[in-house]
Structure 1
Amino acid sequence: MTTDVVGIIPAAGLGSRLSPIPFSKELFPVGFGPHPEHREPHPKPVSQYLLEHMQRAGAKQVYMVLRKGKWDIPDYYGDGGQLGVQLAYLVMRRPYGSPYSLDQAYTFVKQQRVVFGFPDILFEPENAFESLLQRQAETQADVVLGCFKVPSPHKWDMVDLQPNGVVKAVLPKPVSSVLSYGWAIASWGPRFTEFMHEHLEEVEAQLHASSGELSVGEVVQAAIHNGLLVQSFCFNNGSCLDIGTPEDLQKAIRTLS
């Protein structure tokens, strides 16, 4: 069994909260950075920040899961060589939410450590994924959630934590909450990958019948219910920002430009 670190990025969404825009939201320029083909700082797509985080954590292979029509993403990033990673592109098959996008990579990642993030969420510090992987190694957790203090609980999956960092529950986007931390990134091992694969098969018929979708947080909560160990790492001095709405996108552009 190998334990290489790989990244998975779900990029199959419609981007409806920002619609209409003339390209995939994952390529929306937020700030500037170096580019191998330009001497001057160049506009930096929001998803590049996540790819750089994964590369720093040791992920040499990253899988991006797309929906048909979002070919501008592979057209821009190519094989990922300019970012120091090998990019592979998979096409979403089942339209029932991000977990099903992640499961498209099951065959390729089922024996590996996974680092996961959303391509439209900016976060700090730079070593965030390294901290998750270290916590996972120390605790032998099946999943480690990267948690941040968030001002708007209804926009996030909130986490109920024990003093030792164990996640008691994940509450997806509650209307109101006394909890302080929401999760934005994660790392996990083969046991959770296998659990997610089996769980998604079990609930697919129900989702198909209701035209519903499942969130990653709901799958993590199901894993907790079934006895998997979910740990946390709280970035008390870190930050996270979802640029998926015009209001938060403006905030990110002001901060990074």
Structure 2
Amino acid sequence: MSDRQVIGLLPAGGQAKRISPLPLSKELYPVGFQDFGEPNNWRPKVVCQYLLEKMQLAGINQAYFILRPGKWDIPEYFRDGAMLSMSLGYLIMGLPYGVPFTLDQAYPFVRDAIIALGFPDILFQPKDAFVKVLARQQGTQADVVLGLFPTDQPEKAGMVDFNDTGRVQQIIEKPRQSDLRYMWGIAVWTPAFTQFLHEYLIPLKANPNLPQLSEVPIGDVIQAAITQGFHVQAEVFADGTYLDIGTPNDLVRAVQQLSHEVF
């Protein structure tokens, strides 16, 4: 393994407009239950805990939530992370123009670390996804490794074209139609890409028309890095699953699938 520390980043800047109104941040929506070791002592398990546990399984014991102002219930719930035997910190997002801007708020704190990116309103399998993505990064020394999941809804995802060696050739954001089968849902990257992301945003932040522009997808930044010669690899989870509880249909599916399971 690399001597560099691996730090998780969880962007939590969304407003949950598609499933609002909610009495809490969507990242804390209870889905499924957890067993506290006593008979019939089951407690609700919130959505983002599944992500944190998958990071922890990969040896990631430090992570930052990057919050939209007002989402104070997340640090109130997890506090310092002791409930998960992790060290958790909380940063406040700045410019509300997409995930890249949100992630860049962590730049001063994580610029020398390996980054593990996961979205805290997503439920995915397999459990060891970050273990395998980190292993591919170590084995290939790629600048970025994307965890890929099958999807039949390309219009909602960043679709990934990759070759037989796993090298990513192109990321296409939310195409109306696509012959590609896999979307990316998690990622790991090196300080080289953290620096690229930071510098990519500098001219955008200086653009006086930024508030009128569309949000910048993080997939577009990764594609720009590919164009500049960055080595991006894919770790494919052919039997994996990926549910975005920020959409009504997937939220219903998640509740139905996990309501009878205890973790």
Shift of 1:39: 6.9
CA distance in 2, matches of 1:105, 1:225: 24
Please tell me the root mean square deviation across aligned C-alpha atoms, in Å.
Answer: 1.7
Distance in 2 between residues matched to 1:161 and 1:168, nearest whole Å? 5
- Give the direction of change, closer, same or farther, for the CA distance of 1:31–1:55 in structure 2 (3 Å limit): same
Q: Residues 51-84 of structure 1: CA distance to partner in whole angstroms, max 9, x if unpaired?
A: 1111111111100000111101111111111111
Alignment partner of 1:87 is 2:88? yes
Are 2:261 and 1:226 aligned?
no
Percent identical pairs in the alignment equals 50
CA distance in 1, matches of 2:206, 2:107: 19
- Does 1:131 pair with 2:152? no
CA distance in 2, matches of 1:35, 1:83: 13
Indicate whether 1:13 and 2:14 are aligned: yes
Match of 1:169 in 2: 170
**For 1:237 and 1:27, how far apart are their aligned partners in 2?**
27
1:92/1:104 contact within 8 Å kept: yes
Query: What does 1:106-125 correspond to in 2, within 5 Å?
Result: 106-125=107-126
Distance 1:91 1:129 in 2: 25
1:237 deviation in Å? 1.8
SS at match of 1:214: coil
| Alignment CA distance shift 1:32-1:130 (3 Å) | same
1:222 maps to amino acid: A
Q: 1:13 to 1:36 in 2, by over 3 A?
A: farther
State the match for 1:248 in structure 2: 250
Give the corresponding residue for 1:34. 35
Matching of residue 51 in structure 1 with residue 52 in structure 2: yes
Mapping 1:118-197, distance limit 5 Å: 118-197=119-198
| Number of corresponding residues | 257
1:72 matched to 2:73: yes
Deviation of 1:34 after TM superposition, in Å, equals 3.1
Cα distance change on mapping 1:35 and 1:24 into 2, 3 Å: farther
- AA at the equivalent of 1:181: Y
Amino acid at match of 1:246: P
The 1:83–1:39 alpha-carbon spacing in structure 2 relative to 1, beyond 3 Å, is farther
Q: Distance in 1 between matches of 2:205 and 2:222?
A: 16
- How far residue 2 of structure 1 moved from its aligned partner, in angstroms, is 5.5
Deviation per residue, 1:166-212 (Å, 9 max, x gap): 11011111111010000000001110000001001122234615243
Query: Which blocks of at least 5 consecutive residues in structure 2 are unaligned?
Result: none
| Structure 1: runs of 5 or more not aligned | none
Q: Deviations over 1:196-243 (max 9, x none)?
A: 010011222346152431111111111111111100000012211111
**Partner Cα separation in structure 2 for residue 107 and residue 130 of structure 1:** 26
Normalising by structure 2, we get a TM-score of 0.94
**Secondary structure of 1:47's aligned partner:** helix
The CA distance in 2 between the partners of 1:55 and 1:80, in whole Å, is 11
